[in-house]
Structure 1
Amino acid sequence: MAVDGAQGRAPVRVVLADDEPLMLAGLRTVLEAGGAVRVVGQAGDGAELLAAVDAHRPDVVLADVQMPGTDGLSALRVLRARPDAPPAAILTTFDHDDYVAEALRIGVQGFLLKDTDPDALIRAVRDLAAGGAVLDPRITVRLLPRLAAGWPSPPPAGLTLREQQVLRGLAAGESNAAIASRLGLAEATVKKYVSALLTKLGAENRVQAALMAQNWGIT
């Protein structure tokens, strides 16, 4: 297996889905430039995406939302229902807010714009592979006013200091392992705190909890 020489780690294996061949080629070039990421499969629609995931068992999926036939969001909805689903992020543009909101509801872990800086895109893929969440701040700014309408404000009372510390980690997109390392806790303990937080906040997933925390200024 090839190893990322700079980090001494195996490259993150990615499946890409986009119906524009030039976009696919450009994303692949960007992602594989430093050796930290290897694109193991490509797809031009949602059906091909699901087939590529089955064939290659990637660490991360990056998918456009608007594609012919089975669109990306429909494919990700099927994928997220699987217990062994890899982390997934949608690649979107500013005029697809409805898709982003629905992707959040079904539990997609990342929201990235297609013009994301190449280095930031690679970092995002590595963060997703590690179990973190990736939220492009430009998307967050647009969506928060709309999403926050149904959230409690101010945040629920009764959060312990440790839960607040874990919530800050979620707001920053940290994985359970990263939060555990920062706080000096076992990863299993952090997982329990995250589960408790989701219940207390009424959040469907860690990405929604992260957005809630950002809306409340918890960073």
Structure 2
Amino acid sequence: MRLPDVVPVRLVLADDEALLRRGLRVLLEADGRVEVVAEAEAGAGLLEVVRRHRPDVALVDVQMPGMDGLAAMRAMLAWPDPPALAVLTTFDLDDYVAAALELGAQGFLLKDAEPDALVRAVLDLAAGGAVLDPRITARLLPKLRPSRLRGNAQLATLSARERQVLELLANGQPNSAIATALGLSEATVKSYVSTVLTKLGVENRVQAALVAHQVDTW
């Protein structure tokens, strides 16, 4: 049932399987917080519908005919104001997911995720959060360049407050939620996040989350 007085997150779905897109649309639109404004079955079509509809979030399969999802994401991330981009994946596509992480994707979701988890992920992405399905975290770590993951040595450079920010960031929390949890302004949180990324030697929130997940202790 759709919720009253809710401005839904505008979403584009890109996958070459029409049945999967249809199923995801039904699941995601069920409670009214997400509106699927367009679908695409290939990368070129994805670029077209994103330009036309300007969604908040795009969920992108990496394997599509013609221009694949990686090429489409690379193109969109060069735009001035791209949507939040998340990869839809399966367990057997680790190399593609690692490549998407290097490009700057903000989320990684398994196609068989529970409906509530999918909706929450889309909402978090729209709010600026990072989304990483815990079932693929361990599989991703060995695929990443060692220089990106410094583990305990990099974590030791963080202040106590920066560690708190990283812990919340690693749980997918957007800046607004981190600000509320720590009693800070969003501007201050944004500054902390920037510092954390710099100290960890990573480029985005998902890479920072992976660093947090791989360390031995906090």
TM above 0.5:
yes
Provide the residue aligned with 1:15 in structure 2. Answer: 12
For residues 126 and 180 of structure 1, do their structure 2 counterparts lie closer, same or farther at Cα, with a shift above 3 Å needed? same
Distance 2:55 2:217 in 1: 33
Per the TM alignment, residue 73 of structure 1 is displaced from its structure 2 partner at its CA by 1.1
Provide the residue aligned with 1:138 in structure 2. Answer: 135
Distance 1:218 1:108 in 2: 26
Per the TM alignment, residue 24 of structure 1 is displaced from its structure 2 partner at its CA by 1.1
TM normalised by structure 2 equals: 0.94
For residues 148 and 183 of structure 1, do their structure 2 counterparts lie closer, same or farther at Cα, with a shift above 3 Å needed? farther
Distance 1:158 1:172 in 2: 20
| Partners of 1:43 and 1:52 within 8 A in 2 | yes
Does residue 203 (structure 1) correspond to residue 202 (structure 2)? The answer is: yes
Describe how 1:93-108 pairs up with structure 2 within 5 A. Answer: 93-108=90-105
**Percent same amino acid among aligned pairs?**
62
For residues 217 and 133 of structure 1, do their structure 2 counterparts lie closer, same or farther at Cα, with a shift above 3 Å needed? farther
TM normalised by structure 1 equals: 0.93
Distance 2:87 2:37 in 1: 18
Q: How many residues align?
A: 215
Per the TM alignment, residue 4 of structure 1 is displaced from its structure 2 partner at its CA by 3.4
Distance 2:151 2:133 in 1: 23
Query: What RMSD in Å do the two structures reach over aligned CA positions?
Result: 1.5
Describe how 1:91-170 pairs up with structure 2 within 5 A. Answer: 91-147=88-144, 149-150=146-147, 151-156=149-154, 157-170=156-169
Distance 2:200 2:15 in 1: 34
The unaligned stretches of length 5 or more in structure 2 are: none
> 1:21 corresponds to which letter in structure 2?
A
Runs of 4+ in 1 over 6 A off after TM superposition: none
Deviations 1:97-121, CA, capped at 9 Å, x for gaps: 0110011111101100110111111
| Partners of 1:4 and 1:10 within 8 A in 2 | no
